[in-house]
Amino acid sequence: MNKISKISLAIVISTFFLIFFIKDILYFLKSINITQINLFLIILASLFYLLNFLFRSLRFSIILNKEHFNTFKIFSISQFLSTILPLRLGDLYLAKLKDENTHYNKIIKTYIYVKILDFFAIIPMIILIFCIIKFKILLLPITIYIIYLILFPIFIYKILYKKLIIKIKKIDLNIFENNKYIVWILTNINWFSANIYSILLINSINKLYPLTNLEVLFSNLSMILGGMMPIPSIGGYGILEIIWTAGSRIIGVENLNHSFSIAFFTHTFALILGFLLYLSIIINLNINFKNIYKK
């Protein structure tokens, strides 16, 4: 399937789901009253969304030994493009990280490395939240989860992760060894901030559609996991909302009438924030270019 066919399929899939749920989305949007929205939580959610980008791009800066501000700009543009293009094609923009000291091969290795690391961070979070919700136990799963976070870079990394990543791409892990602890910490902080973003955003409209924080966490983590895949739709629209709804169903959320719309709201707000960040970076680059040209 060529690129045009893939993009056409992505447009068809996204359009189908959005049309199918259009009534629910419109009802949801009409029911939102600005006076009922907690603007402070909206602003706070936006800050945590920005932190997510900062932490994720910082991993690339550390591994590739690059100046963070430039890496942050390239990473942010890449992520925004991935939200408007199918199959996460925006990730290809990370090739802009190449310079005389960083070859494409090293960028690809780093990309695979952090992607697999993300799976090892997100899946245990999902299991933790599921156990808390389904089995009504708190202490045991949290204790096991904390032990996992501590032991992963020491034992699990050597036994499981090393073998897995070497088999996938025959990657020389020497370039990652020195930074594995800080990158692992940043990976978890980054996804914590992404979850806090969703919790704050949903709580800003919780008077309209009350959800517990644990329900938001599980549904959001399900959607994040789905978003890491090369989904054949424009920015994941339609499919990610379905994944959120499926996550809500798994944990037994009773009112699923507007689950798709809540996911759509979270997804779209993130897209708007990503666009504003993208716009500010483009303006900054344009101003810098003009200053260089004047000199």
Q: What is the pLDDT of residue 141?
A: 94
Question: Any idea where the domains of the chain sit in the sequence?
Answer: 3-99+181-294
- The model's confidence at residue 65, banded by pLDDT at 50, 70 and 90, is confident
Mean pLDDT in the chain? Answer: 79
Give bridge partners of residue 102 from the DSSP assignment. 99
Could you say which DSSP state residue 159 is in? I
Q: Calculate mean pLDDT across residues 109-118.
A: 85
Of 225, 116, 102, the closest CA to residue 168 belongs to 116
Task: Phi first, then psi: give them for residue 102, nearest 5 degrees.
Answer: -130, 110
What percentage of the chain exceeds 90 in pLDDT?
A: 25
Neighbours of 64 (CB within 10 A): 18
Q: What is the pLDDT of residue 289?
A: 42
Asked which of 5-9, 13-17, 185-189 is least confident by mean pLDDT, the reply is 5-9
Q: What is the pLDDT of residue 291?
A: 47
Given a contact cutoff of 8 angstroms between Cβ atoms, the answer to whether 44 and 200 are in contact is yes
Beta strands in 57-131 (DSSP E): none
Residue range 195-250, pLDDT digits in tens: 999 999 988 886 666 778 999 999 999 999 888 877 656 667 778 888 898 898 89
**Alpha carbons 49 and 54: distance in angstroms, whole number:** 9
Q: What is the pLDDT of residue 140?
A: 94
Residue range 139-192, pLDDT digits in tens: 999 999 999 999 888 776 666 666 666 565 555 556 667 788 899 999 999 999
Of 173, 177, 199, 150, the closest CA to residue 49 belongs to 199
- The model's confidence at residue 292, banded by pLDDT at 50, 70 and 90, is very low
Q: What is the pLDDT of residue 184?
A: 92
Asked which of 11-20, 133-142, 175-184 is least confident by mean pLDDT, the reply is 11-20
